[in-house]
Structure 1
């Protein structure tokens, strides 16, 4: 039974004090421990231990005002989020009716400190201004509308999250370390962020490189999980990493590449061969290459020059170039391969006049295949232009059995009637998407019909009991999966069965056989 009825300033309804053997779930400490007296509101079911609520009953909050407790959802006229952590208010929350601010129980029990002494890289103490106030953070240059930490000595205002920004870091977009500064300074030209490619306001803080005079990154862009590995490098010696060259120079035309160390490779300025590159597994089509003088090993000149270790925009740790002939699926473009390939910024594509960047802007529609893709390569000039990683890495020129000439990657060009038809599958080609065409004969082909699933795999064994073959025989084999003649330039064969021979035209047919 209740001992007495009270009207207390921390709640608008009458509260009853209970003291019996029943366990009550306290809204403040979230336990049902028996701690003596409890306050209970019969109207809104508020239940709190007397000892849990007394600190707020007898002492004003940080804003020097007494708080009131409410249950349920806030009124529509009130802010629906906690003043400090910005989470949605629910169940129980406290409110200062004078400051017009609300906070959840977690922030009520553990409010941000009023003063921070010796912050990470600022010489003065910082004081919390617990108010709704519009300001621009001096550390990151972004606007805020509440609770800045203020330096009374130099009038700086900081977001709480920016107080402990790392001083020195490495990011996957730059080869050197970058350091945080509270004042980027005016340069000879506008500062452009090395991640999002947007302008940085030089009045505020950012990260900059001490070696590259024009390289800087927004504070928030530099510390994103996709960009920074989370390691603070202040007071860590900046030792020059020993750069391991991919090849040794023998003379003007000969090299010894680390992937083929037993033989010498010789430069051919215009490579004409049916073989494909041992590195990227793509054809040469007259590109410069290095040929082995003793065997049939061959590399694109650009593939031979790829560094053995590299920072890459798709991962926030340094990557190592491996030459193990293991079949893998690329995490970015989802293509199966047993070679290697790379995309770096700025990326210049034949079908677009401006360079493309990995700006991490979220999901966009790929301009080449019309599919929604997460974090594509984007154009900073044309807001709506983006390419997914698969379309970015499509070969620009290919050879196909349906035409004697090289086929070129094309987009947005139709014939007089505006209709295009694939010469392989005889289906309509969507001119607004990427496709292959012959500039001399006018034939057009779907991307999938030209490449198929095994185009990026080397001919030969790719795993236990499975090999890739060129589909260049007099007749096309019958696929054991879909039971249709294989139309793609490369197919797979099951080497564990001799009779009947099992061929597969794509990955689906192979997996579901």
Structure 2
């Protein structure tokens, strides 16, 4: 699947001053490639870029009718009662518009059911009968999706009980999630994508850059900035492009702003330390990328320290690894010691074996401790 789903081979590209929308290299005079079939669209690709296996499944669609779908069939959210209430296909109750009150204690934040990130905007859609709540953007994610990040159509799945492990790893950003998941429609394809990556759509507007960005197979790129020299092409990997621009933190009264590059830091960089883990931040690449900072208080925080190593996993959710049930919990002030690596669990989340008092600081530590878990079950 490409940004333009309908492209055709041309033996001669007439837009010789245009660049390939995938690799951004120019076309040689008289060289061929693929162009969009729509007259007003100037989307063009090199032949070798268009036929990459990550983007093209090998099917020649020439002569085949374009696939059509009823827009009502792909809508996840429908208005009820003249827009006063809403119905989402994932939930049996109607949803209403609610407001964030900002009084939640740490570890008890209200989170979106789809992306698992905090409900920190002014309003959201929520159920008054249970704890199901959704960001507006997440609630409107379609049930069927064609996305730049994958060559096949995707289907939205909202029930993690259908997944043996109770969570999945996004094929694009590689983060673990127990929220909504897009799965490839092709049985032989194991592609999965979380709600945040799926919400990226052209054009991408990110406050980290002054120009709108264009999605490519692994992230978003600026096509307006000059490339090379002292002005490199601006690019965001999908893992960075989906990070929240503002986060709240108990160490600062102000929201912390995402800093993509060293130039985003507006205060002296010497002897900077993360306010949470207290580790010194190296002023050289790559430490100075992807940090959260407050320019009023000179506060700087690592991304993982601000949002956690597993921002898309929900406290209270149960996962299964190696056949054993593990409960995800908010990390308390007691900071338990990990049974695998024997270090103090510092992250926002801690993983607890339901049959014992054993705690783990990461999924990697759980999977490396199969023998210990089997002994705790008497296996």
Q: Would you call these one fold, judging by a TM-score over 0.5?
A: yes
- How far the C-alpha of 1:183 sits from its partner, in A, is 5.5
Q: Secondary structure at the match of 2:152?
A: strand
Deviations 1:325-376 (A, max 9, x none): 231111222211112322334333332333444556xxxxxxxxxxxxxx55
Shift in CA distance, 289/203, structure 1 to aligned 2, threshold 3 Å: farther
Q: Does 1:347 align with 2:178?
A: no
Question: Which structure exhibits the higher relative contact order, with contacts defined as CA atoms closer than 8 Å and separated by 6 or more residues?
Answer: 2
Match of 1:195 in 2: 22
- How far the C-alpha of 1:313 sits from its partner, in A, is 2.1
Identify which of 326, 330, 342 aligns with 1:470: 330
Moved more, 241-250 or 405-414: 405-414
Runs of 5+ unmatched residues, structure 2? 161-165, 180-194, 370-379
1:406-485 mapped onto 2 (5 Å cutoff) = 406-410=255-259, 411-412=261-262, 413=265, 415-416=267-268, 418-431=270-283, 432-464=288-320, 465-471=325-331, 473-485=332-344
State the distance in 2 between where 1:284 and 1:435 align: 21
Q: Secondary structure at the match of 2:366?
A: helix
- How far the C-alpha of 1:281 sits from its partner, in A, is 0.8
Q: Secondary structure at the match of 1:467?
A: strand
1:105-120 mapped onto 2 (5 Å cutoff) = none
- How far the C-alpha of 1:276 sits from its partner, in A, is 0.7
State the distance in 1 between where 2:131 and 2:269 align: 47
Q: Is the 8 A contact 1:283 1:398 kept in 2?
A: no
Q: Secondary structure at the match of 1:407?
A: strand
Q: Does 1:178 align with 2:7?
A: yes
Q: Does 1:317 align with 2:172?
A: no
State the distance in 2 between where 1:405 and 1:469 align: 26
Identify which of 65, 69, 80 aligns with 1:241: 69
State the distance in 2 between where 1:239 and 1:512 align: 46
Match of 1:509 in 2: 365
State the distance in 2 between where 1:507 and 1:400 align: 24
RMSD between superposed Cα atoms in Å: 3.0
Match of 1:74 in 2: none
Identify which of 313, 327, 335 aligns with 2:167: 327
Q: Secondary structure at the match of 2:9?
A: strand
State the distance in 1 between where 2:123 and 2:282 align: 33
Shift in CA distance, 376/266, structure 1 to aligned 2, threshold 3 Å: closer
Shift in CA distance, 201/264, structure 1 to aligned 2, threshold 3 Å: farther
State the distance in 1 between where 2:342 and 2:295 align: 34
Higher-Rg structure is: 1
1:204-283 mapped onto 2 (5 Å cutoff) = 205-211=32-38, 213-220=40-47, 221-243=49-71, 244-250=74-80, 251-260=82-91, 262-268=92-98, 272=102, 274-283=109-118
Identify which of 225, 234, 240 aligns with 1:391: 240
Q: Secondary structure at the match of 1:420?
A: coil
- How far the C-alpha of 1:269 sits from its partner, in A, is 6.2
Q: Secondary structure at the match of 1:449?
A: helix
Q: Is the 8 A contact 1:429 1:445 kept in 2?
A: no
Shift in CA distance, 400/308, structure 1 to aligned 2, threshold 3 Å: same
State the distance in 2 between where 1:402 and 1:478 align: 24
Shift in CA distance, 319/402, structure 1 to aligned 2, threshold 3 Å: same
State the distance in 1 between where 2:30 and 2:296 align: 56
Q: Secondary structure at the match of 2:240?
A: helix
Q: Secondary structure at the match of 1:450?
A: helix
Shift in CA distance, 439/475, structure 1 to aligned 2, threshold 3 Å: farther
Match of 1:28 in 2: none
**TM-score, normalisation: structure 2:** 0.74
Moved more, 275-284 or 289-298: 289-298
Runs of 5+ unmatched residues, structure 1? 1-170, 361-374
State the distance in 2 between where 1:485 and 1:247 align: 43
